[in-house]
């Protein structure tokens, strides 16, 4: 009898913890599983609880991937970084919001990020600055072609020299 009560307490604890975590934000199945394991919940109970929550629609890796990708897009991250972070969280598919962005769209995002951070000055004569900006864009998760496109972009407004003013 005591063993059954302990089992029920563990399952109740797992359900309550998982629901509390999901109320704060979306989680992937892997994230939720790891958080429950950190709380010393037995693996069999974790799987049961997560299966039930998936059937209820409270836990959905596809929804998590879409929400997560949109948040990272808004923060200026590129496709490689977003997909890598999703894989670390146990999601091995590309969300629709990333599929909808064309290569040209990614280039425009990289250009916008470069403009916001550094401006769109001509870098043809400043190799060190060009490499610094390239490293920044690579760390943000843009591909080589997207970084190259961003580094070649120039401001549509000509710069005004102090001599001309």
Q: Tell me the per-residue pLDDT of 50-63, one tens digit each, with 9 for 90 and over.
A: 999 999 999 999 99
What's the CA gap between 62 and 68, in Å, rounded? 10
Q: Tell whether 76 and 116 lie within a shared domain.
A: no
Q: Is residue 161 part of a domain?
A: no
Sole residue written with tokens 């929550």: 53
Report residues of the chain scoring pLDDT below 70: 1-8, 157-165
Q: Tell whether 49 and 31 lie within a shared domain.
A: yes
Q: Is residue 157 part of a domain?
A: no
What's the CA gap between 128 and 10, in Å, rounded? 58
What's the CA gap between 133 and 124, in Å, rounded? 13
Q: Which domain holds residue 134?
A: 103-152
Is 82 in contact with 72 (CB distance < 8 Å)?
A: yes
Say what the pLDDT of residue 49 is: 93
Instruction: Indicate the SS3 state at residue 41.
Output: coil
Compute and round to an integer the Cα radius of gyration of the chain: 23
Q: Is residue 107 part of a domain?
A: yes
What's the CA gap between 1 and 80, in Å, rounded? 53
Q: Tell whether 30 and 49 lie within a shared domain.
A: yes
pTM: 0.82
Say what the pLDDT of residue 29 is: 94
Percent helix, strand and coil across the chain, each to the nearest 5: 70, 0, 30
């Amino acid at each position: 009898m005591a063993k059954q009560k302990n089992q029920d307490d563990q399952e109740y604890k797992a359900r309550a913890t998982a629901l509390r975590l999901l109320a704060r934000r979306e989680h992937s199945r892997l994230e939720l599983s790891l958080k429950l394991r950190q709380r010393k919940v037995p693996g069999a109970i974790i799987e049961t609880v997560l299966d039930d929550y998936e059937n209820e629609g409270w836990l959905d890796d596809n929804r998590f991937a879409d929400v997560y990708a949109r948040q990272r897009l808004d923060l200026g991250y590129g496709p490689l970084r977003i997909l890598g972070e999703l894989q670390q969280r146990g999601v091995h598919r590309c969300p629709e919001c990333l599929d909808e962005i064309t290569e040209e769209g990614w280039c425009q995002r990289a250009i916008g990020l470069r403009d916001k951070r550094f401006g769109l000055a001509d870098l043809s004569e400043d190799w060190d600055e060009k490499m610094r900006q390239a490293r920044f864009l690579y760390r943000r998760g843009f591909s080589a072609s997207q970084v190259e496109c961003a580094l070649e972009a120039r401001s549509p407004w000509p710069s005004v020299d102090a001599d001309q003013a």
